[in-house]
Structures are given as C-alpha cells and as structure tokens.
Structure 1
C-alpha cells in the first residue's frame, strides 16, 4: 500500500492490489480529489479510518446506449408521479445518501469530512446531483463527479420504491444527449447491473478518462 505525502501525486493505478486498494493518507482537497477521479481513483473508507484510495479492476460502467428500462419502470415514468431536477439541492442529496439506512449495512462510508469535501466540489461546479421529488418532498436522488465526458457516480438513495432508479435513468438520458462516453459505477452491484451496467478492464476505463 502506497502512503501518500503532502505532494499532489498518486502512484500508478496498476499497483493497486486485487481488491483495488491503491494508497492511504493524503487529504480531500478539491485539487487532490479532481486528480484522483481523472486518474481512475476514488476515496472509500469509514469514519475514524485514514483516507483510503481505490482503483478497482475490473471497473463497473454504464454506456448510455446500454441503459435497460423495464416495462414497469417505463409505465411508472409515464405516470409522471415524480418530478426530477438537477443540481437544485446537492446538500440534501448527499446528506440523505449519508444517513439513510441500507439493508445489510452498518454505518456509512460517507464521512463528515467527505460530505464537506464534496459540497465544496459542488460549489466549484464539479460535483453534481439529481433530485427526485414526490410533490414537494425529496424522495430520492444521486450525486457524483462530472469530468465532462465521464460522470463518476458516487451514491444514491431512495425513500420510496424506485426513486433512485428514476434519478439514474433521467441522468443517463441527459448525459446521452450531451454525448458523454460513460457513467462510472465503480464496482459491481446487482442494482446497476439490472440497468445495463457492465464491467470493463481498468485500462479500457482509463482510455475513456483521457
């Protein structure tokens, strides 16, 4: 494991171990976070732990053209029971992602330090959010890092069934219209696989970042 210094530098990602763990330490400054994402690296650790940086292989991604929308989801979207906005309440979205209870999970990986750092990135126009509303109540959403041609998804939440899927689908449609290459989903999970995400080799992912 590579121990980071105060210098703004990361080791080559091919030095990550089989779990994707690459480095430890450093800080969550806007400059370091942006360098990390542009290099295919992201922080992932728990409260009370040092900052841990990952670059997994393979990488879970979604190409916008591969988005899968089930018949039931199409019907739900047509009902227009939800209203979707972009970047209208980033702080509420990340707070909900941090605090919502998830099945099989204890605590959260979104530490206080991370929450503060990503809010600063949002104010710089780098971190973006999607909000899903039921009438005037925020019931779902997601946030991530916008690199211009790649959107790096970080976390999502739902307070009602399918709200996070709605957020994701609207995001993909928006990014497809803007000719984004892909959405970075980081590591495999069944939820995103059901929406069309797949794993690709890390070296292929890095080509899209460049």
Structure 2
C-alpha cells in the first residue's frame, strides 16, 4: 500500500483559508487519488517478478517459454523468471554483480559474488544458515548462472554453511560423462 494520504497532501499545498479542514472537495479529490494510488500499487505487485504470486508467475513463464511446474517452490520459479527478465531487458545482455547476487540469493539464505576481472572468472558463494527451508538444487543454480552469465566468463560455485541448529541434511549425486558430437564429412 502507498504511504501517501492525498487529502493531507492537497490540504498542505493550498493557501491558508482555502479548502482547509473537512471540505467536500478536498475529501473527494483526496479519496479518489488514494484509490488510484492503491490500484497502481496492486498493479505493480501483480507484474513485479519479485512480489508476484503463482498465477502471474505462470504468465511470465509462458512469456519467456520457461517450463512451468507449479510444484516447484515459488522462490525457484521467481529466480528463473527474474534471470530471463534481466536478459530480456538488458541493453548489452551483461548482468551486474548485484543482479547476480539477488538471483542466486533466491536459492539460499544469502549470496555473494566475487569478481576476478583479470581471469574472466567470478565466484558465487551461497550462504546457508538453515533459515531458508527450500532445498538447494545445485543443478538448478548452475543452470540459472549459466543462462545469465556473460559467455566469456567462467565461474565457481561454493556453499558456505553456518547452520544455527544441529540438523543438516545433505544429499549428493555425482554424474560425470563426456559428450562427443560428430559432424558430417564435407560440411
């Protein structure tokens, strides 16, 4: 909701003696402007990827042709939409450090990005304190980072555990392989 009360704003802008107090005109205009502001606030909330609910996330996922799985956590779905949104809206399709931190922080309690410009490398450190109950999918995090990072850079991914309680569940699956692509001869 907006922090403005337009009736008071109107009254504070008028000269002494004109429509001061409880005039019908000031009330009508102030109430109308308050209603318009409330509608604008609601519209912003409906289209803002950081605040939207499932229905609007599905619309954004459809717009960006992302897989829409309503069983996935809302934070993970938001991260996918936001990463696509940044790429779509960016002039040069280069993501800033703070944008990368905001997106990767959606997967953990917080996140830090350390840039190594001379090596064309950056480190992403997911900080886990146990406050966030969403399971971290390393595959999902890597997929999002790969999609939004500049193509000429490389990255490392680390997790910093500082668990506040004594419970910690870690599930790990390691898959390795090699992909060989054969091109037709003479092409």
TM-score tier, shorter chain, comes to: under 0.3
Q: RCO greater where, 1 or 2, for CA within 8 Å and sep 6 or more?
A: 1
TM-score (norm 1): 0.26
TM-score by length of 2: 0.28
More strand by share: 1
Structure having the higher helix fraction is: 2
